[in-house]
Chain A
Amino acid sequence: MTKRSRRIAILAAALALGASAAGLAIVALGRSVAYFYAPSDLAALPSPPGGTIRLGGLVAAGSILHTDDTVRFTVGDGAAEIDVRYRGLLPDLFREGQGVVVEGRLAEDGALDASRVLAKHDESYMPREVAEALKEKGLWREGADPQTP
């Protein structure tokens, strides 16, 4: 083994160590790396998680209901839906069909009492006119990809 190939081997070993450390961390962290649960993930769990959780999905059409200082809406991912109750300021992008991430606790009745609502932006960028044109042609897909893992 020449000195140079020994040095290359040292770097390869360093890279392999780094990669396996990262790989083990990723496997060990598993689901907890995900920022939120989709409604169908929650439905698939054997028992509802306690404590603060995050739920991500689309705000269901026609589900937004403002009463006094509380807003109620439904977050769905096409397979399951969960009702959300929230008091507080909503982000600008919040509306029907929008992808949102809701932070809060699951109540006894299966609804989520939210303490924070974040709007999730999707990866499409276009001028208003293009969006209008797509809507006219019927090619529009409302809302963001809920990114079910």
Chain B
Amino acid sequence: MLTEFANPEKFERIARIAGPAATVAALACAATGLYFGLVASPPDYQQGDTVRIMYVHVPAAWLALFAYVFIAGASVVGFAWKHPLADVAAKSAAPIGAVFTALALITGSIWGKPMWGAWWAWDARLTSMLILFFLYLGYIAVWEAFEDKGRAARIAAIVATVGVVNVPIIHFSVDHWSSLHQKASVFRSDGPTIDPAMLTPLLIMAAAYMAGFVGLLIASMRNEIAARRLARIEAARPVSEVLLQ
């Protein structure tokens, strides 16, 4: 099965339809989710309208973690099975994940000022999330540091694998240590502690972010494949042609 998808032609055939479809789904979900989140859902009994920041903050944080796990998984496939498309997928997901992480940090900060009374606190959740952002930047930097893409892919894969230990630390940071950040409201063993009127728009927004991630990932992967193909063609040009330029 893996070799099936390793074929860039086959990927291109699927991606040409799946990419735009995911983007359309993302826009439709975002429009619905934002309408319910910002207009139709009730204000919170404590936070008032500030609760609406949650609809952009929480899915961004979920996708920030998901994208990192995706990169680590794709890196394992690319490193162990020598699967070039997996390397392309891992590389392409990194800037998207970094943006989601930054979005979670920024919207969280905007929420924190009126609710906690502070833009930032060095508690376990906020700090581990900031570390995730730096891990993304480091991972992207490794890819840019090496001319040889095969070599860059191998080193980046090890970096991604080492960094993935941060993901469970982020998730459990609010349970293991007393933190200013509240505990998990959705992914918890005794069920969500969010009223259905607020959980529904949150889940629609999560679907929008997820579809947006897939759409951006596919577009970015197609770019990367096209860029590599172009580089190969450039490299194969006869010397005389290059000199005449």
Contact = CB atoms under 8 A, between A and B. Distances in A.
Interface residues of A, number: 47
Interface of A: 4, 7-8, 10-11, 14-15, 17-19, 21-22, 26, 33-36, 38, 56, 89-93, 101, 116-132, 144-145, 147-149
B28 interface: no
Nearest to B117: A91
Interface string B160-173: 01111110010000
Given A4-B80, A11-B76, A130 B195 contact: yes
Contacts of B197: 127
Contacts of A33: 124, 176-177
B35 interface: no
B124 A119 contact: no
22 contacts: A8-B80, A11-B80, A11-B161, A17-B162, A18-B164, A22-B169, A35-B122, A35-B179, A36-B180, A89-B117, A91-B117, A118-B121, A120-B116, A123-B188, A124-B193, A125-B198, A126-B195, A126-B198, A129-B42, A145-B183, A147-B183, A149-B176
A124 B47 CA distance: 11
A81 B148 CA distance: 62
A7 B79 contact: yes
A109 B180 CA distance: 27
A119 B44 contact: no
Given A34-B177, A121-B182, A126 B44 contact: yes
A148 B178 contact: yes
B208 to A, nearest CB: 19
Nearest to A22: B165
Contacts of A10: 79, 158
A4 B157 contact: no
B140 interface: no
A36 B174 CA distance: 12
Nearest to A5: B80
B193 A34 contact: no
A116 B180 CA distance: 13
Interface in B183-200: 183-185, 188, 193-195, 197-198
A117 B183 contact: no
Nearest to A92: B114
B177 A149 contact: yes
Contacts of A119: 115-117
Most buried by B among A11, A21, A91, A148: A11
Interface in B27-81: 42-47, 51, 54, 75-76, 79-81
A147 B180 CA distance: 10
B144 interface: no
Contacts of A128: 42-45
Contacts of A14: 158, 161-162
A127 B42 contact: yes
Contacts of B45: 126-128, 130-132
A121 B124 contact: no
B36 to A, nearest CB: 13
B118 interface: yes
Given A92-B117, A123-B193, A130-B45, 14 more contacts: A4-B80, A7-B79, A7-B80, A18-B163, A34-B177, A34-B179, A35-B121, A91-B114, A116-B118, A118-B117, A119-B117, A123-B188, A127-B198, A131-B45
Given A18-B165, A56-B178, A124-B185, A91 B198 contact: no
Contact of A34 (B46, B178, B194, B198): B178
Contacts of B177: 33-35, 149
